[in-house]
Amino acid sequence: MAVKVSTLDERIKLTDSADSPLDTQEYFINMGPQHPATHGVLRLMLKLDGETVREVIPVLGYIHRGIEKIGEHSTYRQFVHLTDRCDYLSAMMNNWAVSLMVEKALKVELNDRIEYIRTIMAELERIQSHMLWWGVLGMDLGAFTPFLYGFRDRELITDIFEETIGCRLTMNYIQPGGVMDDIHPNFVDRVKKVIEYAKPKIDEYEELLSGNVIIQERLRNVGVLSADKATSLGVTGPVLRASGVPLDLRRVAPYGVYDKVNFEVAVGSVGDCWDRYWVRIEEIRQSMSMIEQLIDNIPAGKTMLMKPAKKTVLPEGSHYAQLETARGILGIYAVSDGVSDKPVRIHMRSPNYNNVWSADEMTRDSRIGDLVANVSSIDIVVPDIDR
């Protein structure tokens, strides 16, 4: 199949010029890097025809910090804390991905306690990420109140993190060979309390936004991404599942203790914003049920199996591990020379980078308001795109 590669120079040419004074003309406008709806410093160049978006060209790199390059100069254990800074809303899963890669390469067998703690923490992280996303989607669509409700409930989960770990956002908790600290004695009680509190809140979310007819009109049949297009774009996570592809690594290629819990994979049928919205809301519920299944059965055992101060040298060759973050599949690829405790090359296959390109496919020939809904429903975290 021949692929036509178009450069940015070609794409920013106007195809439609005004012949007579009465003709309308296409024009370009920059959405971002400073714009309330791009959640940071994403820059979208829009080719507009009046209010209609003809093309969306994401321009990346405004928060590029060379994290992969720094990774080549850090040990694996040091690199873990950098992954916190990529997708900061799934910091726990990012840490886990690096740890998984190292453990896979060194063939470290973990005990159940570590796996249980990791899984519970990752699911808590997923819940708080989706709660924040829910609030931000509300704000992008013009309702400010959900934003604060989402943050209010998310704070309780970050409280759990803070009690056990000491940090709320960039936690650096899951380490190669285990977890940094054992869970706090209050952990189990607090998690149960928060889940009990949050369950009715999710119903309230549904009353406030999901059931709202304006939201349904704003989301339904907006930004349709077909399953074919989604898979060919390499989209993963809730965005892919909303298009009807039930690819969830937690189910399809289980890691942690996901093979021991029962949960359902939320999928959509059309692939529009409404499906993406609903899939995430359902994922919060599923994560809660997963935590409920795990929280009472945390077995005893050590929480760190590799000595932190000891040099970690991976065998020569390339190593890869992937898992499902709140936004999709995160893969960590590392090449080791077998001598140094630092990788020769480290690469992150980040979910947001692939997801952001679907914005163009979703948005063509719809309105600016739809673009905002689409970008919001993709749920991008810009530092993870640029890294």
Partner 1 sequence: MSYIDPKKSSRSAIEVGGVPVNIVVAPRGATGDKREGLLTIFYKSVKSLLTGMKVTIGYLVRPSTVVTQQYPENRETLKMFERFRGQLRLVKDENGYMNCNGCDFCEKACPNGSIILQDRRNSVSGKSELERYLWRLDSCTFCNACIQACPHDALEWSDGFEAAVYDRRLLVYTLNDYAGPPVNHIKRFKKKAGTPEDRVEELLATMEPRHQYGGPTPLSGKGMPGVPPLKTD
Partner 2 sequence: MLDFLFGQLVATHATFDVVTLSDRTTQALAEDPWLAAGYALLGLAGVGGFLSLLGMALIYVERKVAAHFQCRLGPMRVGWHGMLQSVADAIKLLLKEDIIPDRADRVLFLIAPVFSIIATTLGLILIPMSPSLQVVDLNIGVIFISAVSSFGVLGILLAGWSSNNKWSLLGAMRAGAQFISYEISVTLSLLVVTLFAGSLQLSEIVQSQQDGWWIWRGHIVGLVAFFVFLIASTAELNRPPFDLPEAESELTGGFHTEYSGLRFSFFFLAEFINMFIASALAATLFLGGWMPFHIGGLHTFNGLMDLIPPGLWFAGKTTFIIFLIMWVRWTFPRLRVDQLMRLEWKFLLPVGFINLFAAATLVITKLYFFPW
Distance of closest approach, residue 214 Cβ to partner 2, in angstroms:
5
Instruction: Pick the binder of partner 2 from 12, 16, 51, 228 (CB under 8 A).
Output: 51
Show contacts with partner 2 in window 17-36 (CB under 8 A): 27, 29, 35-36
Residue 43: phi and psi, rounded to 5, are -110, 125
The pairing of beta strand 43-49 with beta strand 178-179:
unpaired
Instruction: Pick the binder of partner 2 from 64, 69, 73, 152 (CB under 8 A).
Output: 152
* N-terminal to C-terminal alpha carbon distance within the chain: 31
Q: Candidates 60-68, 204-212, 245-253, 321-329 — which segment interacts with partner 2 by CB under 8 A?
A: 204-212
DSSP per-residue letters across 362-382: HHTTEEHHHHHHHHHHHT--H
Is 314 or 375 the residue whose CB approaches partner 2 more closely? 375
Instruction: Pick the binder of partner 1 from 16, 189, 206, 228 (CB under 8 A).
Output: 206
Cβ atoms of 96 and 47 within 8 Å: the answer is no
- 38-77 mask for partner 1 (x: CB under 8 A)? ------------------------------------x--x
Residue 222: phi and psi, rounded to 5, are -105, 135
Cα–Cα distance for residue pair 46/30, rounded to 1 Å? 6
92 binds, among partner 2, partner 1, none (CB under 5 to 8 A by kind): none
Q: Candidates 163-171, 210-218, 299-307, 355-363 — which segment interacts with partner 2 by CB under 8 A?
A: 210-218
**Residue 331's CB: how many other CB atoms inside 10 A?**
17
- 297-336 mask for partner 1 (x: CB under 8 A)? -----------xx---------------------------
Strands (E), 25-165: 27-31, 43-49, 52-59
Distance of closest approach, residue 19 Cβ to partner 2, in angstroms:
22
**Residue 32's CB: how many other CB atoms inside 10 A?**
21
Note whether 142 binds partner 1 by CB under 8 A: no
Note whether 139 binds partner 2 by CB under 8 A: yes
Cα–Cα distance for residue pair 307/177, rounded to 1 Å? 8
Cα–Cα distance for residue pair 238/260, rounded to 1 Å? 22
- 221-260 mask for partner 2 (x: CB under 8 A)? ----------------------------------------
Instruction: Pick the binder of partner 2 from 138, 237, 268, 351 (CB under 8 A).
Output: 138
- Residue carrying the six token digits 């304006």: 214
Distance of closest approach, residue 369 Cβ to partner 2, in angstroms:
4
> What count of Cα atoms within 13 Å lies in the side-chain half-sphere of residue 131?
27
Distance of closest approach, residue 41 Cβ to partner 2, in angstroms:
14
Structure tokens at 17: 């010029």
Q: What is the dihedral of CA 291, 297, 300, 305, to 10 degrees?
A: -40
The pairing of beta strand 52-59 with beta strand 174-175:
unpaired
Instruction: Pick the binder of partner 2 from 67, 330, 372, 381 (CB under 8 A).
Output: 372
CA distances, 372 to each of 36, 142, 276, 292, 327 (Å): 10, 10, 14, 35, 18
Note whether 364 binds partner 2 by CB under 8 A: no
Distance of closest approach, residue 370 Cβ to partner 2, in angstroms:
7
Distance of closest approach, residue 219 Cβ to partner 1, in angstroms:
9
Note whether 347 binds partner 2 by CB under 8 A: no
Cα–Cα distance for residue pair 8/56, rounded to 1 Å? 11
Note whether 144 binds partner 2 by CB under 8 A: yes
Closest by Cα among 358, 342, 346, 296 to 320: 346
| Positions that interact with partner 1 (CB under 8 A) | 74, 77-79, 81-82, 84-85, 145, 152, 155, 159, 162-167, 170, 172, 175, 180-181, 184, 204, 206-214, 216-217, 220, 242, 246-248, 251-252, 262-270, 274-275, 278-279, 281-282, 286, 308-309
Q: Contact residues for partner 2 (CB under 8 A)?
A: 27, 29, 35-37, 51, 138-145, 148-149, 152, 208-209, 212, 214-215, 217-218, 367-370, 372
